[in-house]
Amino acid sequence: MYRSFDQIKTALDSGITVESITGSYLKRIEEKKHLNAFLEVFTESALEQSRIVDAKIKSKTAGKLAGVVIGIKDNLAYKNHKVSGSSKILEGFESLYSGTAIERLIAEDAVIIGRLNCDEFAMGSSNENSAFGNVLNPINEKMVPGGSSGGSAVAVAAGLCSVSLGSDTGGSIRQPASFTGTVGLKPTYGRISRYGLLAYASSFDQIGPFTHSVKDAALLLEVMAGKDDFDSTLLQEDSRNFFPGFESTKKIKIAYIKDCIENEGIDPEIRSRIIQIIEKLKALGHSVEAVDFPFLKQMVPAYYVLTTAEASSNFARYDGVHFGYHSKNAIGVEDTYKKSRSEGFGEEVKRRIMLGTFVLSQGYYDAFYTKGQKVRRVIQNKTNDILAKYDFILLPTTPTTAFEIGKNVDDPITMYLQDIFTVQANLCGNPAISLPLGNHSNGLPFGIQVMGKHFDEGNLLSFSDYLMTNC
């Protein structure tokens, strides 16, 4: 299968059609359907779009993504196609419009091949919370693929599409990328329009790509980024080239958070690999220094207080009345709300809604929500102070490699701590990327994470490509 846009271009130049490329992916999806990555395959619309792109290639009017076949996470709106957030509550719902990111991909002649399984409404770190069953890790099918964008990561890792889209609220792109050996990018908050993304926590959510290469992630970002009247939180500037290339003579300053490397929960082989990369970068002439970050233990609690509060508000729209699942046993308005939501939502979503409602309730608002916002500001200030002195922050993506399916499903605290190294970028809004730079003795991959300055994806991606080549 094709592992890069460059390989696809070579195939097209040799006479291979987009329709045949799409057909090969459709065949492979069928062969690997036991992985449960796809909730729905858009066979007819994908083949129809492929033929349109082939005609454009012949007339030399094709866009920059011609030949690229993309799977999208099941929380992204695609006109006249179903979207459910992998939840029973949106049973049968079909989108009336396409999100901005999806429209921009299609405008450059990408082919959307299907919607991908995920943790329900992007709440989870293992893809075990989907109403439609677990996704299996193709590297070891006894292991989870990570979450919440597990289906998106698996689709790329298993060669079921060229690239895919996920969303990242607290690590939901980077963590599954680490578990599946793929590249996962979370752009700066406000870089890609969230219009058409089913909201979980609106001040944290960000759309991003899974790819096999940093260069491809940069091209997808270039296509999807840019101002949009439908998202007021977006940076109001036109898109640009996010892959200027790394200057080989440039010497940079990199910080690594000592508290992460020395964390007692980190796998010794992951720690050893990061130290190896640090020494390699020093040998290449770069400055790499340890920095203190005394708020590691506060990040996950602050993240869950704030995101669940936002979810409590956002999820009021799923009421069993306007659209989606409606309880057949309900009598009257109040009973409709209670039973439709109780039956339609999964356990993890109900847990987070209740937690969010609690922290927003009278008597607890200041103790939890207000304090959480203050902690977020402290974390942001400290991160900005570090990045004022250094070009990038280097840290693990995950504390371990992928764990066994079912191992942590009954222990929410252990599951939440999977996000310990990824939530910082979401709390602060910074861009961050997971790079497949580690291979464990247990046969599983793991990622190394790089965080950059706000809206500095160009340098972040160029340095990441340099890391992939030299480390």
The answer to whether the CB of 72 falls within 8 A of the CB of 150 is: no
Q: What angle do CA 18, 19, 23 make, to 5 degrees?
A: 115
Between CA 469 and CA 465 the distance in angstroms is 6
Q: What is the separation of C-alpha 297 from the centre of its chain, rounded to a whole number of angstroms? A: 23
Active site residue 389: no
Active site residue 73: yes
Cα dist from 432 to 189, 276, 388, whole Å? 10, 20, 16
Tokens standing for residue 444? 């599983």
The answer to whether the CB of 352 falls within 8 A of the CB of 303 is: no
Active site residue 434: no
The 10 Å CB-count burial string (b at 16+, else e) for 448-470 is: bbbbbbbbbbbbbbbbbbbbbee
Catalytic residue among 32, 73, 186, 215: 73
Between CA 192 and CA 242 the distance in angstroms is 13
The answer to whether the CB of 127 falls within 8 A of the CB of 144 is: yes
Q: Which residues does residue 166 pair with via DSSP β-bridges, in sequence order? A: 208
**What 3-state class would DSSP assign to 3?**
coil
The answer to whether the CB of 292 falls within 8 A of the CB of 412 is: no
Omega before 162 cis (within 30°)? no
**What 3-state class would DSSP assign to 459?**
helix
Catalytic residue among 87, 130, 152, 172: 172
- Write the DSSP symbol of residue 115: E
Catalytic residue among 130, 148, 178, 193: 148
Q: Which residues does residue 394 pair with via DSSP β-bridges, in sequence order? A: 256, 450
Q: What angle do CA 121, 225, 112 make, to 5 degrees?
A: 60
Look at residues 151, 112, 160 and name the one whose alpha carbon lies nearest to residue 1: 160
Residues that are catalytic: 73, 148, 172
